[in-house]
Amino acid sequence: MLTKNIAPTPEMVKIVTSVLDNKIKLQQIDFNGKKYTISIDNGKCVSLTRDDKKWYKSVCDFFSRGLTSGQSAFTPRAYQLKMAVDEVLILNKKEPINISLNELNASVITKVEDKINSETDILWENLLKFNNENQYLSTLGDTNRYKDIKARISTQLNKNLNANKISIAENHIANAGQYPKDEQIEDHLKMLADNKTSCLVVLASNDDISKPKFTNYFIPNSSYATSTLVVKKYNLSSDVLADSYVLKTKDSKGKYIDIPVFHVTNWPDKKPIPSSALIEMADLVTKSAKINNKINKISVNSFDKGLPFVHCKAGVGRTGTFIAEYYMSNHPDNNVSLERIIEDMRTSRNNHMVQKIEQLDTLVEICKAQNRPIFKSDEKLNLSVPKPIYVNIIKK
């Protein structure tokens, strides 16, 4: 039986490489009962798209992740890729790829993976429908680093910041926002201190910060706050790397507060990371938050205080993915579905939370491992999950 955490074997990689040796340009095929357009060039699957112009699954992206996926994910997608290319070769009156897929047979795994993919696709469509039906009064102008990534006004933490309270099933679980602009850093740090932030989680990678020259406000020798040298370095699953610091900054009354910082240094923008690394990260933040809240005498009844603050660049994709897992790991036995978790995050901040379907795929995997319902329709009938009421919702 193949295991998700075992890397693909050299033979599997060889099979995929042989498939990608074919050059195909914008060839339409029928695959799994749907029409697709496939292109392969320079050893890369440039695209595998559906006729409705929505991405089916970015095969190119999947295989470019450095083969960090486990065998049970790699196997069926490699097989699907071979089937798609075989179809093209037959249409062009060429011989299909003559290579054994014995190591990729795992028909049960293929069926399970197909089911996971179909559940992800259905959930993604549900979330798109949710976006179309729900619009909120949001921040405008200079508050936003990116013009299309806004912050909901009713849950805004500070009128000068693109940052929000994030509530899931009426539980204020965390705060989230964009990477602060230079002119926002002072307000940002005061907001962190005023809220007695239990942990600052920075998901913007070193590359993200260096290329557009974002101000690295949380590191030692920053002109904005005092930070210790790296307290510890973490090598999480699949070589996901993180540094931890302790940030000392002033609240709005001039009182100093220490805030633990976890900076994940190599999570690429708009990409997923393996579920194991995401789970480890949530566990680290949870443990750090408990220690820091004990030091700061934050009780469970401290309203809106002692919560983590999470941001990447825009504060939606990686940020939403992490907060969803953080909620699930801290509420492993409850019946709140993944669909409701993401809808509530989008209601709290904006309709981009969990930005990419590949990120959603990872959360579906974690959800299934927890035996948590994926869809709201699968939540147990005896659980009453009240829907938050907001005064400034605009229905289309």
Q: Which residue has the higher pLDDT, 262 or 299?
A: 262
Cβ neighbourhood burial of 344 (10 Å; 0-12, 13-18, 19+): buried
pLDDT score of 149 more than 80: yes
Residue 31: pLDDT band (50, 70, 90) is low
Question: Do 290 and 178 touch, CB atoms closer than 8 A?
Answer: no
List phi, psi (to 5°) of 381. Answer: -65, -25
Residue 301: pLDDT band (50, 70, 90) is low
Classified as helix, coil or strand, 172 is strand
Can you give the pLDDT at residue 30?
61
Give mean pLDDT, residues 90-113.
Answer: 48
Of 42-46, 53-57, 260-264, 363-367, the poorest mean pLDDT is in: 53-57
Question: In this structure, what token pair is assigned to residue 285?
Answer: 């933040």
| Angle subtended at Cα 93 by Cα 92 and Cα 94, rounded to the nearest 5 degrees | 95
Give mean pLDDT, residues 191-205.
Answer: 96
pLDDT score of 105 more than 50: no
DSSP 220-253: TT-SSSEEPSP-EEEE-GGG-EEEEEEEEEE-TT
Classified as helix, coil or strand, 345 is helix
Can you give the pLDDT at residue 329?
96
pLDDT score of 217 more than 80: yes
Residue 238: pLDDT band (50, 70, 90) is confident
Long-range contacts from 261-264, C-beta under 8 angstroms, 24+ separation: 261/199, 261/200, 261/201, 261/202, 261/218, 261/227, 262/199, 262/200, 262/201, 262/202, 262/288, 263/202, 263/218, 264/201, 264/202, 264/203, 264/205, 264/240
Can you give the pLDDT at residue 382?
44
pTM for the structure as a whole = 0.69
pLDDT score of 310 more than 70: yes
What domains, with CATH codes, occur in the chain? 10-105 (no CATH), 134-395 (3.90.190.10)
Please, what is the average pLDDT of the chain? Answer: 79
